Amino acid sequence: MLVPLLSLSLPQSPPPNIVFIVSDDAGYGDFGFTGSLQIKTPNIDSIANEGVEFTQGYVSGPVCSPSRAGFLTGRYQSRFGHEDNLAIGEVQPGDQREDIGLPVEERTIADYMKAQGYTTGLVGKWHLGEEDKFLPKSRGFDEYWFLPGGSRPYFDQKVGKAMAIQSNYDPEPKVTYTTDDFGAQAAGFITRNAKKPFFLYLSYTAPHTPLTPKPEDEEEFAYITDNRRRKYCGLMKGLDRSVGVVLDALKTNKLDQNTLVIFINDNGGQIQAGAVNAPYRGMKGTFLEGGTRIAYAMKWPGKIKAGMKFDGRVSTLDILPTALGAASQGKSYEVAKPFDGVDLMPYLAQSKSGDPHETLYWRMGFTGAVRDGDWKLIRMPDRPPMLYNIKQDPQEMNNRFAENPNLVANLFKKLFAWEKDMIYPRWNTAPVWYQDNAQRYDRDGLLTQPPGKPGL
Amino acid sequence: MLVPLLSLSLPQSPPPNIVFIVSDDAGYGDFGFTGSLQIKTPNIDSIANEGVEFTQGYVSGPVCSPSRAGFLTGRYQSRFGHEDNLAIGEVQPGDQREDIGLPVEERTIADYMKAQGYTTGLVGKWHLGEEDKFLPKSRGFDEYWFLPGGSRPYFDQKVGKAMAIQSNYDPEPKVTYTTDDFGAQAAGFITRNAKKPFFLYLSYTAPHTPLTPKPEDEEEFAYITDNRRRKYCGLMKGLDRSVGVVLDALKTNKLDQNTLVIFINDNGGQIQAGAVNAPYRGMKGTFLEGGTRIAYAMKWPGKIKAGMKFDGRVSTLDILPTALGAASQGKSYEVAKPFDGVDLMPYLAQSKSGDPHETLYWRMGFTGAVRDGDWKLIRMPDRPPMLYNIKQDPQEMNNRFAENPNLVANLFKKLFAWEKDMIYPRWNTAPVWYQDNAQRYDRDGLLTQPPGKPGL
């Protein structure tokens, strides 16, 4: 499919570099720019402050692998059955290890950027399949320093194949403290490729478990008595420091003006690992706001006005079309399969108005959700449906299902009509996760206000 | 697991033969004994009249293959992921043809009967996998004359492998009119094995589509102007004639007194193929009564009182434990994996009282249901939940969901707790069937009264 864009007399500046930074399992309220009173994240905040903060930014999946399958393809991951998490070893009978990964028929953001002449790089966590055919080398990445799996120890230790760092430019990858290592590798990629347009996907494991920050990163939080929260805060501190190294590398190489930097967290915070999704209810794994609304910011000096807050509904599915739009500079490009995301730049430039997405959809296993305008319906396997007015009740405290039967019926129809174009999950994690996932809807409401010093 | 039974001084009569007869897609109200005013089924009726009619008999799956996976194992088929229909060629991306069939880890009723020293036979439709490992020869059957797939033309014509008759005793199986052929083969099996205990699974394709009865079987219904209904009635007439041949073979061989004959239909009738599920609403594929409550009768002279009506909730999952109980004559037997069904004989002999099943569960794809006491909750992907009081409202016309929030919450919990022990479907039919399945809940209510002459 060719997407013809308006080819006006655009300035012939070089195409922007793109640095796409993802944190892992961070709480919504655990960044400075999203309101944390405990955790300072000046470097990550600078992306929002020098650009735009999306106050209604949603991931397409509430857990790591599906969320990544969505934002790396720009397509609802249920279209290609990448719906359940990718927890090899915990899959159910009948699922074949060799089938489990981002289906090879899908093109990634790296494939698209490469087609634009970009040098593409991956640093950090992959979590989209461990078989050869699923690995970054087959998915459009020129350079990589990454782990195939979903998490690993932060410090150097003997680990299995899914956790061991692989690289095609570093013959003996050494781990000191992964969060710092990823920052250093990202800075190295930027410096090596400074002379031509590049796309970097920097995918931290922080602050995902294990809760083992650098000891010195914990010190600032010594007043926090909750062990998990204190260590989690230490992981966040390391994350922000590492992002600072990357932003500095852009400045040092004089690339900060012509680089689109995108920051997101991959899904709702894991409450039991110390994350705080305040002011939202719910957590990773749920379709409550605390599971799907995430810290989301972009900066691109001169193109995105500094200090913007964009309140329309956006998705991480928009990242690929936005990056591709920026890279193609108004020229048409080929799209292998239609995106569900949209290019956000026209909205940020105010040449388009309204919400980029009137309706957003989610499905994982038997659980589904639809956000349509201000309303959200959550369809559960273990309890009656939930209906919330997100504008009036962003904390989802007041289930208005019973009083709105027609609206509910329409939202069910809308969700199901969307599912017409989806396929069933290609694999499933073990049934225990199906149960666990539902229980997560009850682990909520505790932390709807950001904790302040003296904290938890 | 050893099941010790009371070993009282039981009479040393020879163990009973077991003839298990299944029709395919017949409407609930399309038998004489279930109230048809159009279709006469004197032979099938004789099973109910000389034994027991179950007025609340349920299948465990609302379509062919899952229902069979349930009653042939005595276990909820979702325990082993045999949840969606088996429509090879219509499966979705990622599903492997060689994985699609009744999982080989499960033991069938034929395996259990063989372990009791029975000669086991299959005549008719299989529909539990087409790969070698899934076929009857690997699933406990000594003799067979069958088609691997789910349906086939009634008359002789060139057909593919899934439809072609395979037999291990008939080197050149010939089809004249399958419904008659199956009766003749069943009678032959009975005659050949008359001297020792046998188990026969006689699985008709009638009255499943294609709607091509013998022309002479249609004549009685010439007054019916609806083409499909008329032809469907013709198929039912042939079915009953064929069952008569089998019952006659038992008499001719003087086996009718010591044979347990079980008759069921495999799932709700296919309305658009002319079936009538009166007095119930719904159809094949749904968890409404019209999709799951089926014609169900047993006779065993001297053991089951003639003319009984049993109104408790029973399941086709009970057939295996009942047959095995009868075959073992009070001796203990080994059970490879626990049954969800129960031996119905103690209830029929009134040594046990109450309902054999206080609670019954169903799941197919995203749709689920639970019948608990008089109440049934249906959990749908495309509409709000449905709650019916089956005792007061057997036609399910009055959704009482809104007025019973606590009951609904409890039924959701109960259904979900059951799902803890299930696995995800091992395969799925193409998404179009997922949509079609939901739409079937709207194709209802037309035929809640049995049509009489002059009929439709």
Which residues, in sequence order, are CB contacts of B147 under 8 Å at separation 6+? B124, B125, B126, B162, B163, B164, B165, B166, B205
Tell me, yes or no, if B371 comes closer than 8 A to chain A by beta carbon.
no
- Partner-chain contact A413 B383, CB within 8 Å: yes
B250 inside domain: yes
Q: Which helix (H) or strand (E) holds A55?
A: strand A52-58
Q: Which helix (H) or strand (E) holds A43?
A: helix A42-49
A28 inside domain: yes
Tell me, yes or no, if A129 comes closer than 8 A to chain B by beta carbon.
no
Tell me, yes or no, if B329 comes closer than 8 A to chain A by beta carbon.
no
A241-262 confidence digits (pLDDT tens)? 999 999 999 999 999 999 999 9
Pick from A94, A402, A431: CB nearest B426:
A94
Tokens, residue B68: 């069979």
Say what the pLDDT of residue B5 is: 52
B390 inside domain: no
Say what the pLDDT of residue B76 is: 98
- Partner-chain contact A383 B424, CB within 8 Å: no
B156 inside domain: yes
Q: Which positions in chain B touch A419 (Cβ < 8 Å)?
A: 381, 431, 434-435
Pick from B92, B368, B423: CB nearest A92:
B423
Say what the pLDDT of residue B11 is: 53
Tell me, yes or no, if A220 comes closer than 8 A to chain B by beta carbon.
no
- Partner-chain contact B405 A384, CB within 8 Å: yes
Pick from A81, A92, A382: CB nearest B93:
A81
* Interatomic CA distance for residues B124 and B108, integer angstroms: 16
Q: Which positions in chain B touch A99 (Cβ < 8 Å)?
A: 94
A272 inside domain: yes
Give the percent of chain A with pLDDT over 90. Answer: 85
Tokens, residue A116: 């634009």
Within the 385-404 window of chain A, which residues sit less than 8 Å (CB to CB) from chain B? Answer: 385, 402
Residue A12 clears pLDDT 70, i.e. is over it: no
How many whole angstroms from its chain centre is CA A260?
A: 16
Mean pLDDT for the stretch of residues A17-26: 98
Pick from B412, B420, B435: CB nearest A384:
B412
Say what the pLDDT of residue A452 is: 55
Pick from A103, A409, A435: CB nearest B420:
A435
Question: What is the total count of domains within chain A?
Answer: 1
Helix, strand and coil percent figures for chain A, each rounded to 5 = 30, 20, 50
pLDDT band at residue A1 using 50, 70 and 90 as cut-offs: low
- Partner-chain contact A368 B381, CB within 8 Å: yes
The model's pTM: 0.93
Q: Which positions in chain A touch B406 (Cβ < 8 Å)?
A: none
Say what the pLDDT of residue A456 is: 41
Tell me, yes or no, if B436 comes closer than 8 A to chain A by beta carbon.
no
pLDDT averaged per 10 residues, chain B (length 456): 51 87 98 96 98 98 97 98 83 76 97 98 97 97 97 97 97 98 98 98 98 98 94 98 98 98 98 93 95 98 97 98 96 95 97 96 93 98 97 95 95 96 85 80 61 49
Q: Which positions in chain A touch B384 (Cβ < 8 Å)?
A: 385, 405, 408-409, 412
- Partner-chain contact B94 A412, CB within 8 Å: no
Tell me, yes or no, if B117 comes closer than 8 A to chain A by beta carbon.
no
Distance, first Cα to last Cα, chain B: 53
A419 inside domain: no
Q: Tell whether omega for the bond before B450 is within 30 degrees of 0, i.e. cis.
A: no
**Beta bridge pairs of residue A310:** A54
DSSP 8-state class, residue A359:
E
Interface test with A, best of B98, B382, B407, B435 (most A CBs within 10 A): B382
Within the 96-115 window of chain B, which residues sit less than 8 Å (CB to CB) from chain A? Answer: 96, 99, 103
- Partner-chain contact A420 B431, CB within 8 Å: yes
Tell me, yes or no, if B153 comes closer than 8 A to chain A by beta carbon.
no
Pick from A92, A419, A421: CB nearest B424:
A92
- Per-residue 3-state assignment (H helix, E strand, C coil) for chain B: CEECCCCCCCCCCCCCEEEEEEECCCCCCCCHHHCCECCCCHHHHHHHHCCEEEEEEECCCCCHHHHHHHHHHCCCHHHHCCCCCCCCCCECCCCCHHHCECCCCCCCHHHHHHHCCCEEEEEEECCCECCHHHCHHHCCCCEEEEECCCCCCCECCCCCCCCCCEECCCCCCCCCEHHHHHHHHHHHHHHHCCCCCEEEEEECCCCCCCCCCCHHHHHHHCCCCCHHHHHHHHHHHHHHHHHHHHHHHHHHCCCCCCEEEEEEECCCCCHHHCCCCCCCCCCCCCCCHHHHECCEEEECCCCCCCCEEEEEEEEHHHHHHHHHHHHHCCCCEECCCCCCCCCCHHHHCCCCCCCCCCEEEEEECCEEEEEECCEEEEECCCCCCEEEECCCCCCCCCCCCCCCHHHHHHHHHHHHHHHCCCCCCCCCECHHHHHHHHHCCCCCCCCCCCCECCCC
Average predicted confidence (pLDDT) for chain A: 93
Q: What is the CATH number of the domain that holds B89?
A: 3.40.720.10
Say what the pLDDT of residue A3 is: 56
Predicted ipTM of the assembly: 0.91
A435-447 confidence digits (pLDDT tens)? 888 888 987 545 5
A40-96 confidence digits (pLDDT tens)? 999 999 999 999 999 999 999 999 999 999 999 999 999 999 999 987 667 777 777
Bridge-based pairing of strands A143-147 and A119-125 is parallel
Q: Which positions in chain B touch A101 (Cβ < 8 Å)?
A: none
Say what the pLDDT of residue B92 is: 74
Pick from A93, A412, A424: CB nearest B382:
A412
Tell me, yes or no, if B5 comes closer than 8 A to chain A by beta carbon.
no
- Partner-chain contact A93 B103, CB within 8 Å: yes
Residue in chain A lying closest to B414 (CA): A382
Interface test with B, best of A366, A383, A401 (most B CBs within 10 A): A366
Say what the pLDDT of residue B448 is: 46
- Domain hosting B65: range is 3-357+427-441
Within the 403-432 window of chain A, which residues sit less than 8 Å (CB to CB) from chain B? Answer: 405, 408-409, 412-413, 415-416, 419-428, 431
User: Are B252 and B23 a contacting pair, CB within 8 Å?
Assistant: no
- Quote the minimal CA–CA distance from B128 to chain A in Å: 16
Output phi, psi for B422, to 5 deg.
Answer: -95, 165
Say what the pLDDT of residue A448 is: 46
Say what the pLDDT of residue A446 is: 53
* Interatomic CA distance for residues B35 and A259, integer angstroms: 76
**Beta bridge pairs of residue B125:** B147
Angle CA(A277)–CA(A365)–CA(A384) in degrees, nearest 5? 75
Residue A305 clears pLDDT 60, i.e. is over it: yes
- In sequence order, which ranges of A100-209 are alpha helices (DSSP H)? 109-115, 178-192
User: Are B82 and B99 a contacting pair, CB within 8 Å?
Assistant: no
A367 inside domain: no
B135 inside domain: yes
